[in-house]
Amino acid sequence: MNKIVVFLSAVFFFAAFVANAGDFVNPAVPDFLGTVIVEIDHKPTAVGSGFLIAAESGMEFITAYHVIEMDDEDIIASSLKIFTKNMVVSIPRLSARKNPESDLAHIPISGKKGATAAHITTPQVGETLTIFGTGQTEASKFRGIAQSYYGHKPVWELWQYGVPVRVVATNVAGCEIIIDLCKDQLRSIFHSGVQEFRYTKVKSLTQEMPHGFSGGPAVNQNGEVVGIYIGGFTYTNTDILVPVSRGGQ
């Protein structure tokens, strides 16, 4: 059986999504972490994770390109809604640009101020802060990227942040979102700082990543972003991260 590449953030849903930044406040996660919602004709169609970096224009939101990828005829009618702990912004899909070297997207955010991620731009082979992943796949999307992977040992020195999404529609504080948790659980996560579900932090990528993690940052113990989660393979413990030198420049 061929290994099937799973893009863990390409989760499609069709519920109405209305929220305020306060609904997503969780003090246990970095201020630079965020969620991006893809909307076509004001209807949510996909969701992924990402993070803010400093840019000449102010800030950029980095995520996986396959999260926001769509047919040309849909681009004009589409927008990207970005949620962080401190803001909610809506941006035309046309403003996003693809990093030509990898499955990454840069989304400019103008006129806003916020916390941005510190990131390492030149990870070195053999360092404990570098990225791990085999990159063994038949998928052409990952060919060429695999050559830039770095061995990371031990893996537990990295934290992988993301926003997990499930398949059950639940309404919380006026926010209709598809996620496999009941209302009371969601309320406690959004408002009391519980970190295990809405924003998940894990010590090892040998367990399966939840849907919605694509584009999320891998962070070292100093709080610096060292990699970006792209996807994984079914039936294996292999997950793919791109060094931030490709996403943070």
Residue 123 lies in a domain: no
The phi and psi torsions of 190 (rounded to 5 degrees) equal -65, -35
Task: For residue 237, give the CATH number of its domain.
Answer: 2.40.10
Could you read off the pLDDT of 202-245 as tens digits, one per residue? 434 444 555 677 888 877 667 778 778 777 655 444 556 666 65
pLDDT in tens, 168-179: 333 333 333 333
Classify residue 154: in a domain, yes or no.
yes
Residues of the domain holding 48: 5-109
Mark whether 182 and 229 lie in a shared domain: yes
Do the Cβ atoms of 161 and 30 come closer than 8 Å?
yes
pLDDT tens for 52-108 read 988 887 899 999 888 888 777 777 778 888 877 677 888 887 788 876 556 788 899
Query: How far is 210 from 197, CA to CA, in rounded Å?
Result: 10
- Taking residue 44's Cβ as centre, other Cβ atoms within 10 Å add up to 19
Residue at 116 is within a domain: no
Domain of residue 83, CATH code: 2.40.10.10
Per the structure, how many domains does the chain have? Answer: 2
